[in-house]
Chain A
Amino acid sequence: MPAVQETIDQVRQIDVDQYKYGFETVIESDTAPKGLTEDTIRLISAKKNEPDWMLEWRLDAFQRWLQMEEPSWARVDYPKIDFQDIHYYSAPKSTVGPKSLDEVDPELLRVYEKLGIPLREQEILAGVQTSKIAVDAVFDSVSVVTTFKKELAQAGVIFMSISEAMREHPDLVRKYLGTVVPVTDNYYATLNAAVFTDGSFVYVPKGVRCPMELSTYFRINEKNTGQFERTLIIAEEGAYVSYLEGCTAPQRDENQLHAAVVELIAMDDAEIKYSTVQNWYPGDKDGKGGIYNFVTKRGDCRGDRSKISWTQVETGSAITWKYPSCILRGDDSRGEFYSIAVSNGYQQIDSGTKMIHLGKNTSSRIISKGISAGHSSNTYRGQVSAHRKATNARNFTQCDSLLIGNDCGAHTVPYIEAKNSTAQFEHEATTSKISEDQLFYCLARGIPEEEAIALIVNGFVKEVIQELPMEFAVEAQKLIGISLEGSVG
């Protein structure tokens, strides 16, 4: 059945007025001049008191980046980015790093409050929240505060901003940085390697199960700023860590650039669970403004029996270009990808995953749910490949798309490559609208249409939502509601 007119109208009405994180905060900040040259990189490196090898690494990346071309294969369309019209460094002004929350700019704390970030440990400890989450908050380009450090240190877990880690644990950073996403991996990853300003660093030692969820909140605030953060998570043998990432940005007319790199490394028997709720500003109803989100996320199941699981809820950004991937190198390793991508307005999403089976008896599972509304375009692009020696590789992929309204597009582009006779790949994809039968079933039982659609959409994404940690699951469901308000209630 065609979408009920009412629903279509309501979806159309959805404006970014709904974007409740679209506030701007006036905070004194220390911003590098616009433009990208070797000097910009030297400045970033100097600001962060980085070791020399790091500066070398950045400069090398920059030289390579100059030789590269912007990729054009994704199904996204945007005016050419002027990389010289961006601030590559912006930090909330402070002379010395804050020792405690009291020293943090109160304006900044109010921002986090608005975001609902459980920064204040005392509140958490006072039992306002039932579970503990350690938070690393990144504001524009730098990590502002990391909570629960002491408690984590007792367990042997290192959780700090990556610039801090570079100073305190240079050997660890040097050993692992760029080993999953090489410097020259792709255009945006190379740019990130040259100019990344901060991000989180997590190291979970052998046999340790990280005692709490770790979380990072990213927020772009300053005008014309690019945010280039870099996250590195290492789980040693038998370790376990669950990591959450949330993103917001204020409403602005100009497009802002976000090009992050996330590297995960899981050794023997280790497990990393990485969850993202991405809610960058998607632009207004005419497609003006919004974040360009060009992210490279990759996990390396380096050890035998290791496991990496990506869960993402994508509701924001004007453009999303993101493929969290798993390299299944260790024997019996496992990769998972669960995704909900909601697009509305003029949003463009080209997202998916790669499962590269290299080791023996590796398995992977992909569940992707795309919901398109308004004038948006929503593409799933995924690759599953089994190499010669990857005997008994197994993959199951399911990508379902739901279309709401008649001006949007839903696309599926899977690449399935088998080079081994023992590989067993199954892929299925469907595209449909909300089933008339399901809707009728609900309506016949006196459930109003809006609620019925909400119920059906919730059912559609349930398989992914249930993979999210509790706190995020609630937030994600709310976000999907906001993103599709009018059609899903």
Chain B
Amino acid sequence: MNMQTKPPRTAAEQALLDSYAEMVGQLPGDARVTVARDRLLSAIAEKGLPTKRIESWHYTDLRAVLRAVPVKAGGSARAAEPLVRDALVCPVVQGQALMPRVPEGVELSPFMELLVSGEAAPLLSSRGADDLVGELNGAFVSDGYRLAIEAGRELDEILELQSVQAGGQAHTRFLAEIGAGAKATVVERHLGETSNAGLSSSVSTLDLGEGAEVTWILVQGAGEADQHLGQTIARLAAGATLKLFVINAGGKLVRREVHVDVAGEGAHFDLRCVNLLAGDSHTDVTMTLGHMVPETTSSEIVRNVVLDRARGVFQGQIRVAQVAQKTDAKMSCNTLLLSDEGEFAAKPELEIFADDVVCGHGATVIDINADHLFYLMARGVSEKTARALLVNGFVDELIDELEDEALVEPLRSLIEQWLVDHG
């Protein structure tokens, strides 16, 4: 069989390699970290950016769509007000962590310290051949936070890990260790301040101890020219509960990966994801979820609103290991495709090796229901308002589930604002 010849490097591929050469001298880390970085970069150089021939990148041909971005920022970024009033902001501005004070029971340190001490070296690894996000971030990461919440601590205060950027490149990492029985709500926000084209990558690793309960709200509000490659990796010990709430409302090219191992009996994982897509953006949410042990549950609901020429992707893969009897996993992905020029592709996968399980997934793609529209318009509501109401109702259902008013209000107004801006 003829071997496929390796295609020539694209401008973006070359630019990535060049920017590594440019930055490597200033990137923090001891010798071990540098070795790890070099190894990850050679992996990227060797494989090139993933194309649609790589199954997990089927709908995001990164090689074709990623654009070169200079290392240096185009403007000056500043930390934003917290999403939830009175939340404690832990900002990372243009890839540099600025240490705030932290409440009792919480340890916070800049990720840079782990790089400098070399402790972070084992973390700078690849999850597999298709892990471009992890490799890119591992090679370039400059800072972020390590956050540890002590066992049994119930945090009243909401923490906000905030990464702000004004063009250029920023590569951050958050490491969260939630002790057994601890309870916390964390907001992770990625913001792009200007319309300068920026490239950012971020990897968040969440380690939940036994019985820990975490609500993690991830708001991606990159600028409309920004490219954001993000990864959330979570591991749940027995009896732990993670509610991951993702809102994508920005960015030109966004890849959000969520990789979860439900690794302890009785653990539960929830994903709620709202994708608000407009303009010429391309947004890809890719989840892999492993039920590794018996008696675990999960539920995922993804709602997408597609306007203009936007393209959206949801790939969700649920794996049930042979020992994971009594798994209960449900996944659904619903899309409101409101534009004839927009696109949405869904690939909900089930991979099941245990027989005593209840697993299901559903996916729909529809336009606004004409009957619902008529109902509202017959009551004197203008078409525009009626449509806005219906779209709002479509995503609001997920927000409602959060119950905590302090969270519901700001998220609701974020969505309403987006609909006003793009309606």
Residues in chain A within 8 A of chain B (CB atoms): 1-3, 66-70, 73, 388, 401, 403-433
Contacts and interface: CB of A to CB of B under 8 A. Distances in A.
Contact of B359 (A70, A419, A423, A430): A430
Interface string B208-251: 00000000000000000000000000000000000000000000
A430 B358 CA distance: 7
A431 B67 CA distance: 41
Interface string B345-375: 1111111111111111111111100000000
B352 A411 contact: yes
A70 B360 CA distance: 32
Contacts of B349: 411-414
Interface in B335-350: 335, 337-350
Given A406-B322, A417-B343, A426 B337 contact: no
A37 to B, nearest CB: 16
Contact of A1 (B338, B342, B356, B361): B356
B362 A423 contact: no
B343 A418 contact: yes
Given A73-B55, A423-B337, A433 B356 contact: yes
A12 to B, nearest CB: 13
A429 B361 CA distance: 5
A421 B365 CA distance: 8
Contacts of A426: 362-364
Given A418-B337, A421-B337, A429 B352 contact: no
19 contacts: A3-B356, A68-B1, A73-B55, A404-B355, A406-B354, A407-B322, A409-B351, A415-B345, A416-B365, A418-B335, A418-B344, A422-B340, A425-B363, A425-B364, A428-B361, A431-B350, A431-B358, A431-B359, A432-B359
B413 interface: no
A414 B362 CA distance: 10
A401 B356 contact: no
Interface string B56-82: 001000000000000000000000000
Q: Of residues B325, B341, B350, B361, which shows the largest number of chain A Cβ atoms within 10 Å of its Cβ?
A: B350
Minimum-distance CB pairs A-B, first 9:
A403-B355, A418-B365, A427-B363, A430-B360, A425-B365, A412-B350, A416-B346, A417-B345, A431-B359
B2 interface: yes
B4 interface: yes
A419 B346 CA distance: 12
A423 B362 CA distance: 16
Contacts of A411: 349-352
B339 A421 contact: yes
Interface string B379-423: 000000000000000000000000000000000000000000000
Nearest to A411: B351
B1 A413 contact: no
A67 B346 CA distance: 32
B355 A406 contact: yes
